[in-house]
Structure 1
């Protein structure tokens, strides 16, 4: 009756190495890719005196305009204390200011300053060669293909993120 024995359904085990075929492989690869990209972009931002967490807030402020801290936290995946520290840093460097919100004295909106816009623009210039370095191992058209695939993966058409 050996034919009645259940077949082993054990999937391959996660190794976090190239060629990993475990159910965790995609997530592990994305984590490694994030760390690599974050390391490279951190180096691009270092001469400007900001970190990725600061740049993430500047992105929101450039795209949305003045934004309350609660919304900044949600947009950047930060918590209340973390976003306060980042905004404190940006204010100290003259890159952003807190302003009262008309009609609600308890709420403060954060606004990017002209100096913040200059640093934001300088970050793009500094990141260009680093971005090319990051994708140097890819062939012609592959950086764009990777960006397209990651965009579709991150923002599925049905809005199911």
Structure 2
């Protein structure tokens, strides 16, 4: 091969393509999402629901536009998720003092119980997710991804 031939993206380990990291992260996301979906299924919610519950537990009552920003969803998608959470009794919309048009979403006690149950259900599956790594490698992966995603937030 000559030096002017571009490095092409493949799904082979060790690929030197400039797209390799993104492809690996996407494959890792698919794998993690499949495992976490398995943990949430018996609880009757999906990852998109759990993503909103994470924000509500972390931030407390949050305006719907804040949920859009926090989850990377769009306005219509958040509306559907919040509708689902309300229907299941896991969250409620409340008026925001000073602006009747704006609604904040708040987790309910039932939602918090489900949130806690999801963590218990996910524990053994999360271990399986990193079973091919040593405990030190799993910790290192978590640290690297934490720093990588924190940099993206800056």
Fold equivalence (TM over 0.5): yes
Following superposition, the deviation at residue 11 of structure 1 comes to: 3.2
Whether 1:47 and 2:15 are equivalent positions in the alignment is no
Residues 1:131 and 2:126 aligned together: yes
The answer as to 2:82 corresponding to 1:82 is no
Q: Which residue is equivalent to 2:19?
A: 24
Within 5 Å, which residues of 2 pair with 1:6-155? 8-155=3-150
TM-score, normalised on structure 2? 0.95
Name the CA distance, whole Å, in 2 between partners of 1:65 and 1:140.
33
Displacement of 1:160 in angstroms is 6.2
Looking at secondary structure, tell me which structure has more helix per residue: 2
C-alpha displacement at 1:155, in angstroms? 1.1
RMSD after superposition: 1.3
Number of residue pairs matched by the alignment? 153
Please identify the structure whose Cα radius of gyration is greater: 1
Q: After the TM superposition, which parts of structure 1 deviate over 3 Å for at least 4 consecutive aligned residues?
A: none
- Is the Cα–Cα contact under 8 Å of residues 11 and 23 in structure 1 kept in the other structure? no
Shift of 1:139: 1.5
In the alignment, structure 2 segments of 5+ residues that lack a partner are: none
Query: For 1:62 and 1:140, how far apart are their aligned partners in 2?
Result: 28
**What is the CA deviation profile of residues 12-62 of structure 1, one whole-angstrom value per residue up to 9, with x for unaligned ones?**
210122222211100100000000000000000000001000000000000
Q: 2:90 and 2:153 mapped to 1: Cα distance?
A: 34
**Residue aligning to 1:4:** none
- Any idea what the Cα deviations from partners look like across 1:92-143, whole Å, max 9, x if unmatched? 0000000011111100100000000000000000010000000000023111
